[in-house]
Amino acid sequence: MSSVQQRKAEILAKRAKLAELKRQRELRQKEFSQSRANSGDASEVWQAPQRQKFGTNFDSIFSTKIVSPVPSRSDSRAELDDLISRLVDRPGSASVSHADGPSRRGSRPNSVLSASQLSGDNTEALNPTTRAFHQSIAVQTDVAEPFVASSAPPPPPEPKPEVVTYSKGVQTDESKKHQSDSESETEDLEDGTSSSKRHSKRGRERDEEIRRKLRKEIEEELQATQQQAVDGPGAESTNLRYPLRTLDDDELKAVTSSDDFLDFVERSTRVIERALDEEYDVLADYELGGIDGDLEDDVEHGKKRKSIREVCQFYDERWSKKRMISDLSFSPKFPELVLAAYTKNPSAPHEPDGLVQVWNQHLHSRPEYVFHSTSDILTAKFSPFHPNLIVGGSYSGQVLLWDTRSSRAGGGAPVQKTPLTGSGHTHPVYSISIIGTQNAHNILTASTDGVVCGWTVDMLSQPQEYLELATPPPSKTEDLAPTTMSFPQSDPTFFIVGTEEGGIYPCHRYDRAGAKAGTDQRLAYRGHAAPIMSTAFHPARGPVDLGDLMLSSSLDWSVKLWRVRPPATTAPATSAAIATNQVVSPILDLNREDVVYDARWSPHRPGVFSLVDGAGNLEVWDLCTDTEVPVVRTSPSRGRGGILTRSLNKVAWEEREGKRIATGGLDGVVTIFEVGKGLSGTPEDVPAEEWTAMKRLAGKLEQRDRAN
């Protein structure tokens, strides 16, 4: 590549030199044209006898309008003679032309004939095939020797042998450096040694080959485009490098049964179904300004502000059939996702016993994710710190961890689980709580063996905390079987447990002043006469702290409201008080018409909570409005296949806006309800008066309880 670049550099230098010489020549021509206008008569006088001497040949040679470099009339003849004498004495200065044709003659319009051409005896000088010697105008002004006239022209000098040298870097000889200034750029590139000619010839052949290939490819593309326009789009597949073909039965079965194909179809159809579920009112009248009869009734009379309606139901024919729902939970990050835990199907022994389905409210036909385990799932919930993780407790006592990112790769199996050893739970796990912060949190589980274990998400092989609970002394036995466990918002080291005997006991995770880790022996919340089914602390997300309020439901057909004492006040002040066990009674007792399986607070409304009973009813209460009857009461519609929705087991609130409620029961159908604006809303939508009213109500109920 270095020789090619050097050659290009020489060509550019020569181009610049030629451009400068052309400019000087134009200046000289302008000067000569002015002098010719003054000496035109003298030139005509001199040319007349010369025409008679040389005849017609002279006329044909000088028909090219030779510019005579004559400065004046007196010495024009002498300068011409000196020029001819110079040409005769210095023949080596003339350059040999290597190209004939109109392009060459057009590139050098001004030239002077040599002495051999002016000779009358040399008839070959006028032959067009004979190569002529030329001298540029640039050397015509350096004539100094006189011209000696003779009757016979001198013989032409013998040609000197030409020494040809070849240089790979330059590819030309030294004689090319003395070429005539009037030669064009094409002559300068073509002139040189035979080796340079061969090199340039090979280069031209190579360039021509490249042009021919490009021309051929362009023609083929044009023909293909024209053929496609004629045949239509259907003929495109016939010209493909890999033409389309029909798969046989074996190949088609192999493709459609592959995991990649099934995964692609599953994800694509989910996306399409979500998009089709988007609701939009195409009949909306924007001229009314959004005011119609229903809205006016809602604002003025409040009939629809505290209402409830059914939105959708979820049921899968394969997985939900003959399974009972054991727990429900909304995703804290994606409000449209609802988690449902199921027990085993007694009629399908080959299917997994435990099942967890994640439903999408925009995808009603099938679950978004399906997870399973080898034992019944009794409780499950989304992790508030890792939205893609699901933690569950099984009937075998194992704590399971599923990841939505690996649901398809692992087939729905848990990514982690606790071992079936004595280091963890040996009885069914009925309650799970995830306590802590984003960077430091633990999974707390409680089982009916009276053990509370603390786990970390990174390691489930061994519990980080192990706490045995025992019943306070008045009971006949020390065995304590907790069925529920709840933590307040303000203190992650204090919790309460509900037991099978109907008692509710405060517990401490660690030793503290006046109390040891485990069950607090000096305090008990008694009021239920049957096993406790649920306990829930108030969320307390408002201007007034209501975190000491707690709801409990039981199989004794009642829901009770408690005021939980802070852990610091539970320790007795005197030794006499140690012998007496403090018993706290509920401040509000709500007796229902059937077994109450679950009760949950609204995430943002201070006095609103919901409950479900064995009769299949969903009730929403607002204690700020009424403490005797619920605000709304409804039942789910008929399930899939005409199954009546009976005995609702679980209820859950959507945590972001508190607008939707999920219920589930014995038939395995998940039903989503939506409450009105008076029962839902974000924390900004709830007025401060509701919080103060709930605070006054709690104080009034507590005073009435003390009076009794």
Residue 114 pLDDT: 40
Element (H, E) at 251: helix 249-256
Residue 634 main-chain phi, psi, to 5 deg: -150, 170
Q: Are 666 and 346 contacting, i.e. CB atoms less than 8 angstroms apart?
A: no
SS3 of residue 417 by DSSP: strand
Residue 423 pLDDT: 80
pLDDT tens-digit series, residues 547-580:
889 999 999 899 999 988 877 655 444 444 444 5
DSSP state for residue 258 in the 8-state scheme? S
Q: What is the mean pLDDT of residues 100-115?
A: 40
Rounded Cα distance, 12 and 168, in Å = 18
Neighbour count for residue 61 (Cβ, 10 Å):
16
Residue 651 pLDDT: 94
From the candidate CATH numbers 2.160.10.10, 2.130.10.10, 1.10.1130.10, 3.40.50.920, the one assigned to the domain spanning 316-567+580-707: 2.130.10.10
Residue spans per domain, the chain: 316-567+580-707
SS (H, E, C) 484-536: EEECCCCCCCEEEEEECCCCEEEEECCCECCECCEECCCEEECCCCCCEEEEE
Q: How many CA atoms lie within 13 A of 162 on its CB side?
A: 13
Residue 381 pLDDT: 93
Q: Is the pLDDT of residue 432 over 60?
A: yes
Residue 545 pLDDT: 84
Q: Are 664 and 671 contacting, i.e. CB atoms less than 8 angstroms apart?
A: yes
pLDDT tens-digit series, residues 242-267:
667 788 888 888 888 888 888 788 77
What pTM was estimated for this model as a whole?
0.60
Between 311 and 228, name the one with better pLDDT. 311
Residue 257 pLDDT: 85
Q: Is the dihedral of CA 9, 13, 19, 22 positive or negative?
A: negative
Confidence of residue 376 (pLDDT cuts 50, 70, 90): very high
Between 649 and 118, name the one with better pLDDT. 649
Residue 517 pLDDT: 85
Residue with token string 């505290």: 306
Residue 628 identity: E
Residue 663 pLDDT: 94
Residue 596 main-chain phi, psi, to 5 deg: -100, 115
Confidence of residue 600 (pLDDT cuts 50, 70, 90): very high
Q: Is the pLDDT of residue 270 over 80?
A: no
Between 557 and 272, name the one with better pLDDT. 557
Residue with token string 């995991």: 259
Residue 271 pLDDT: 78
Neighbour count for residue 599 (Cβ, 10 Å):
26
Extract the tokens encoding 223.
């023909």
Extract the tokens encoding 519.
């069950």
Q: How many CA atoms lie within 13 A of 222 on its CB side?
A: 6
Rounded Cα distance, 334 and 357, in Å = 15
Q: Is the pLDDT of residue 31 over 50?
A: yes
Q: pLDDT > 90: what percent of the chain?
A: 19
pLDDT tens-digit series, residues 472-497:
876 667 778 899 999 998 888 899 99
